Structure 1
């Protein structure tokens, strides 16, 4: 682990010194059912400089679990670190990784055997870091038409079966484009109807549902029991509708989280994809403080 001088340099480079360089580990309330999670893509700039020190800082804020991104299947590395070595670092930090976002979209038009090979690599990496979920996070713009959504559902089912047979779980993460109207059809309806609920779970991005769906998060969960096992929780700027730090935006999370059905929920992750008030590390600091004070009691 880093010495104090190196740590101070890292914190200064990532803008954390202005917050605090010596925050104590936060303790979750005794009645919390879930670990407070962080989608590490939020701090991707800091992760690029030093992933372990970045996670260490997030852990000091009270985040106990995370969702990763950027797996290199050919080299079996997360952030340039071999998966088994990465797991050792996670153990040292008392931090878990419950899900990962993997680059399936770039292989959308490749032969199915290429995609299956990549899935096998993702399975290996996930097993090595004790991560439960492999998640499809994105569909490139050129594939966002009705016919490709139908092709997508077939791919999701096949990947779900492959992942399930390996003892793991598979999920699909939404953005806004799934809710775009295509002459009376929506991609998300096709995904919901065309995928096997036992093979393909769903990760709800609450921001994007509030931003673009005619249905509320509560309605989607009620209409699809057993499927929404993970949530992304992020706020919406009151003016621009862009991302915002928790508590600064327009989404009434106190009402939403206090009333929404949580029976199927397994993990949640606080996230902010950009539009930071100051910088990404200050963002996860402010969001953690607000979340622990005002929202964590509901989870």
Structure 2
């Protein structure tokens, strides 16, 4: 999802993450490199059951025909979805549509104010109805964008994470570019990683925003914080820094996925924040991930 706080970092900050993966940094900003990491291939692949679509990508066709959109995603080959907006449908109605198409909802995005407030029990019940495993906070209020604010977020996440665990689910947080900023000498994302209980709180890592934020290499995060990243948003970056269909941009996904097992990754959810043609984007992204070897 698009972040109001996402900003382009300096060339030096970007090189810390993108240098090895993307090659030389262009003078205008983000370096250009072929999508499949110069043809590098391995023997591992993403399991078909792990390739999903985050439904924010499909919000326009979903608003017109929710059931038909899910049917087309299943026909493309997607096995799972992340729910982000119900478009007037109840959780039970969405579950019936998913079941008809042999799709599984693995998570739902739920606002910070709901997760940290009195609406949490109902939200957990809704995720269970959808058939999900994770309840995901998609972003944070701008008023919390400081080290002290993020420490308060960590405390709130630990509390909500305990309630989620008691209900049989797990709480995750989805990052945007601003989460990777260093403020007053403190990495905001590191505060969340270090001050939340790994047993209670995990992360849905958006690879595009981690790259654009410039301070977090997913492969290294997977090693430093093992088993904390059960779900990814696989979103690609065009040479000019815009969104791109997965596999058509400059992010080195094979390098990122090389340590995915250590990170505990179980779901690779495609996302494109502003696709010109959502179904064409869904087809191209699925084709790339289903054929990828790393």
Q: CA RMSD in A?
A: 2.0
- 1:47 equivalent to 2:68? Answer no
Q: Which consecutive residues of structure 2, in runs of 5 or more, have no partner in the other structure?
A: 1-43
CA distance 1:271–1:226, shift in 2 (3 Å): same
CA distance 1:289–1:123, shift in 2 (3 Å): same
Shift of 1:225: 1.3
Tell me how far apart the structure 1 counterparts of residues 77 and 142 of structure 2 sit (CA, whole Å): 36
Q: Within 5 A, what are the aligned runs for 1:265-284?
A: 265-274=265-274, 276=275, 278-284=276-282
Q: Number of residues paired by the alignment?
A: 250
Q: Within 5 A, what are the aligned runs for 1:136-155?
A: 136-155=137-156
CA distance 1:254–1:226, shift in 2 (3 Å): closer
Q: TM-score, normalised by structure 2?
A: 0.80
CA distance 1:233–1:177, shift in 2 (3 Å): same
Aligned mate of 2:72, from 38, 51, 57: 57
Shift of 1:98: 0.4
Shift of 1:31: 8.0
Aligned mate of 2:50, from 13, 35, 57: 35
Tell me how far apart the structure 1 counterparts of residues 239 and 45 of structure 2 sit (CA, whole Å): 33
Q: TM-score, normalised by structure 1?
A: 0.78
Tell me how far apart the structure 1 counterparts of residues 114 and 80 of structure 2 sit (CA, whole Å): 28
Aligned to 1:230: 231
Aligned to 1:16: none
- 1:100 equivalent to 2:108? Answer yes
Kept in 1, the 8 Å contact 2:158–2:197? The answer is yes
Shift of 1:145: 1.7
Shift of 1:198: 0.2
Q: Within 5 A, what are the aligned runs for 1:1-299?
A: 32=47, 34-70=49-85, 78-104=86-112, 106=113, 115=117, 117-239=118-240, 241-257=241-257, 259-263=258-262, 264-274=264-274, 276=275, 278-293=276-291, 295=292, 297-298=293-294
Q: Which consecutive residues of structure 1, in runs of 5 or more, have no partner in the other structure?
A: 1-28, 71-77
32-41 or 164-173: bigger deviation: 32-41
CA distance 1:256–1:189, shift in 2 (3 Å): closer
Shift of 1:119: 1.0
Shift of 1:33: 6.1
Shift of 1:226: 1.9
Larger Rg: 1
